[in-house]
Structure 1
Amino acid sequence: MTITAAPVEKRERTGVTVLLWILLTPGLVWTVLRLGGWEPGRLIQLMAFTPYVAIGSFVVAILILVCRRWTAGAVASLVAVALAACVLPRALPDRDKGPGDGVRARFMTANLLLGGADTAEIVRLVEENDVAVLALQEFSPRAEAGLAAAGIDRLLPYHSLAAEPGASGSGLYSRFPLADPGSKRNVGGFLQAFGTVQAPGAGPVFVESVHPLAPSAPDTFSGWRSDLANEPRSDADGPRRILLGDFNSTLDHAALRELISHGYRDAADTVGEGWIGTWGPYDGDLIPPVIIDHVLVDDQIGVREVSVHGVKDSDHRSVVAELTLPAAS
């Protein structure tokens, strides 16, 4: 009996096709979840890595098209385009960066990693970048003492401080007087220092050092959602608002996008610097960089520049945003 090669070739071709569909399925599922804003369970953590999945989706699409599987290739291409539409705009400056007229001031946020970050370096960054308002997370009594010894009061003499050991403390330092300073404790247990800043010539701006609970384990997921949901909105009457800090969320998290939709813009995204990592490998962990530290500004506040700076002995990098505050009416 003669065995032809055709059935063998057909089986091999079918096997390759099945393999390629299996290869593109995770990206397809990821795209559906991302576009739908669904983040069940540990997908909260995984969603932070969407930019890497977007890059991988292009590789998969090219591979499938090279193999001439046109139906699978069309689906893979749609996946790649959809994910690119989610993440690519962060690397492109917006046409609307907010009002250009007003009072310029620089705002900085830094997570101090249980208060152990190099406080002298924090003060140096404040001075070198002409920072007017500094928000700190994981702000401990040790960090408060270290900043005082390094001369923070000379640069930013007004404070709203809520230092605690561990990760829960919060601090706000300002060059300008702080009205109604205070702090609140989130559902997740972290403190958030706040106050209303009024730079000379500018109207009042409410500023808060943000630190929702990290979604590190299943028993923290509910607190993470609650903390983000309870952050102050800026689409109602009252002073303009700036929220800056460690949001433990990226722009691929629906909970953060929901907050931003209530009167804010993300400063780094606005100026095309939204792909610069702020957390991950900076203390030696084998984690790809992700962007969980943000400066969210009221949409009546302009964004001019954003820069990111390493901080010794912290797993976060600091973020500095130059903003244009509305002039006093």
Structure 2
Amino acid sequence: MTITDAPAETRPAHRPRLTRTLLIWLLVVPAVVWFVIRAFGLEGGRMIQGIAFTPYVALWSLIPALVALLARRWGAAAVAVLTAFGLAMGVVPRALPNLDRGPADGVTLTVMTANLLFGGADPAAVVRLVRENDVAVLAVQEFTEPARDGLRAAGLEELLPHHEFAAEPGASGSGLYSRFPITAPASHRTDGGFLQSYGTITPPGAGPVLVESVHPLAPAVPESFGGWRSDLAGQPAADPEGTPRILVGDFNATLDHKLLRDLIKTGYRDAAETTGEGLIGTWGPYDGDLIPPVTIDHVLVDERIGVRDISVHGVKNSDHRAVVAALTLPEAK
């Protein structure tokens, strides 16, 4: 008699247990792989896009940990718990205000970034946010000539009369508006083909500050992945001995992308993470797309600049939300 002919009560009892163990490991392994990719900056190919959703994976990773614990699969449970903890350590601090927000005393400057979605965002909505939040510097991306004209008609240049325009059709244009004169205004084109406007401002009572409207190429398709990497790697590092910088715009990257983390480590602080608002989505479903929100619009400030507050606001007819940051600049020496 073969084993398959044996009575049911004599068949091996370990098979269902083995199957359950295998299924649990199949739940655990994807979170482990995700953690390794995120921790060591191994994102490549489509994972460049996927890694942006790490906060959701961190939350999901609690499920295999709980399942393994309830099933008393202690090996799988240990791995799952450590993985969930590791992902949490990368994500949770963004929701906790930092004790160190930088200098609290100095000159207040409020900056704002807004991606205009091929120039189609509602000009009145943008101007209203500038007025209501007392914004002194506005960086815009996907800035077109019709957008420039619409913002002018809506009264933006009455509030922020100084500017650097690098308007182009499509998504590559950039602009910088300021309440204060801009020294040496200019723009440069990234390797990926997008323009970034920049210039130096000197608010009354403060020293000079260099502000740049940031917009690396979006990693939308495989053909753009190389340009995205090059553009992020090419963003100006902080210079502790030079003029303090503010990088503000659509970085097309979250804090789960190693290239952005590496840029911050040169001497910046992320305003949203500093204030505990780092998990508020800025891109995704805001124009109707069924995409979970992710945080790809940032205000990075030199560590010599303090962060007082940050807020995120919807902009009609844009797939991005505007980010407004109240900062503290060093006083002039």
TM > 0.5 fold call: yes
The one-letter code sitting in structure 2 at the alignment partner of 1:295 is V
Shift in CA distance, 297/321, structure 1 to aligned 2, threshold 3 Å: same
Q: Equivalent of 2:14, from 10, 14, 22? A: 10
Q: Does structure 1 residue 198 correspond to structure 2 residue 208?
A: no
Shift in CA distance, 28/150, structure 1 to aligned 2, threshold 3 Å: same
Deviation string, structure 1 residues 294-314 (Cα, Å, up to 9, x no partner): 000000000010100000000
Q: Equivalent of 2:234, from 222, 230, 233? A: 230
Name the SS of the counterpart of 2:175 in structure 1: strand
Q: Equivalent of 2:323, from 306, 319, 326? A: 319
Q: Equivalent of 1:245, from 245, 249, 255? A: 249
Q: Equivalent of 1:172, from 173, 176, 190? A: 176
**Counterpart of 1:32?**
36
In the alignment, the residues of structure 2 paired with residue 289 and residue 96 of structure 1 have an alpha-carbon distance, to the nearest angstrom, of: 27
| Structure 1 position 235, deviation (Å) | 2.8
For structure 2, list consecutive stretches of 5 or more residues without a partner in the other structure: none
Name the SS of the counterpart of 1:273 in structure 2: coil
The one-letter code sitting in structure 2 at the alignment partner of 1:180 is A
| Structure 1 position 317, deviation (Å) | 0.3
Matches within 5 A, 1:23-102: 23-102=27-106
In the alignment, the residues of structure 1 paired with residue 77 and residue 260 of structure 2 have an alpha-carbon distance, to the nearest angstrom, of: 32
Tell me whether 235-244 or 154-163 shows the greater mean CA deviation: 235-244
Aligned residues: 329
Q: Equivalent of 1:188, from 182, 188, 192? A: 192
| Structure 1 position 238, deviation (Å) | 1.7
| Structure 1 position 237, deviation (Å) | 2.7
Shift in CA distance, 29/239, structure 1 to aligned 2, threshold 3 Å: same
Deviation string, structure 1 residues 18-42 (Cα, Å, up to 9, x no partner): 0000111110001111111111211
Shift in CA distance, 6/100, structure 1 to aligned 2, threshold 3 Å: farther
Name the SS of the counterpart of 1:146 in structure 2: helix
| Structure 1 position 236, deviation (Å) | 4.3
Which 4+ residue blocks in structure 1 deviate beyond 4 angstroms?
none
Name the SS of the counterpart of 2:48 in structure 1: helix
The one-letter code sitting in structure 2 at the alignment partner of 1:232 is P
Identity of aligned residues (%): 63
**Counterpart of 1:295?**
299
Q: Does structure 1 residue 254 correspond to structure 2 residue 263?
A: no
In the alignment, the residues of structure 2 paired with residue 73 and residue 212 of structure 1 have an alpha-carbon distance, to the nearest angstrom, of: 40
In the alignment, the residues of structure 2 paired with residue 6 and residue 247 of structure 1 have an alpha-carbon distance, to the nearest angstrom, of: 63
**Counterpart of 1:133?**
137
Q: Does structure 1 residue 307 correspond to structure 2 residue 311?
A: yes
| Structure 1 position 154, deviation (Å) | 1.2
Q: Does structure 1 residue 143 correspond to structure 2 residue 174?
A: no
Name the SS of the counterpart of 1:321 in structure 2: strand
Q: Equivalent of 1:273, from 252, 271, 277? A: 277
In the alignment, the residues of structure 2 paired with residue 262 and residue 114 of structure 1 have an alpha-carbon distance, to the nearest angstrom, of: 31
| TM-score (normalizing by structure 1) | 0.98
In the alignment, the residues of structure 1 paired with residue 186 and residue 243 of structure 2 have an alpha-carbon distance, to the nearest angstrom, of: 16
In the alignment, the residues of structure 2 paired with residue 124 and residue 235 of structure 1 have an alpha-carbon distance, to the nearest angstrom, of: 34
In the alignment, the residues of structure 1 paired with residue 131 and residue 172 of structure 2 have an alpha-carbon distance, to the nearest angstrom, of: 26
Name the SS of the counterpart of 2:317 in structure 1: coil
| TM-score (normalizing by structure 2) | 0.97
| Structure 1 position 10, deviation (Å) | 1.7
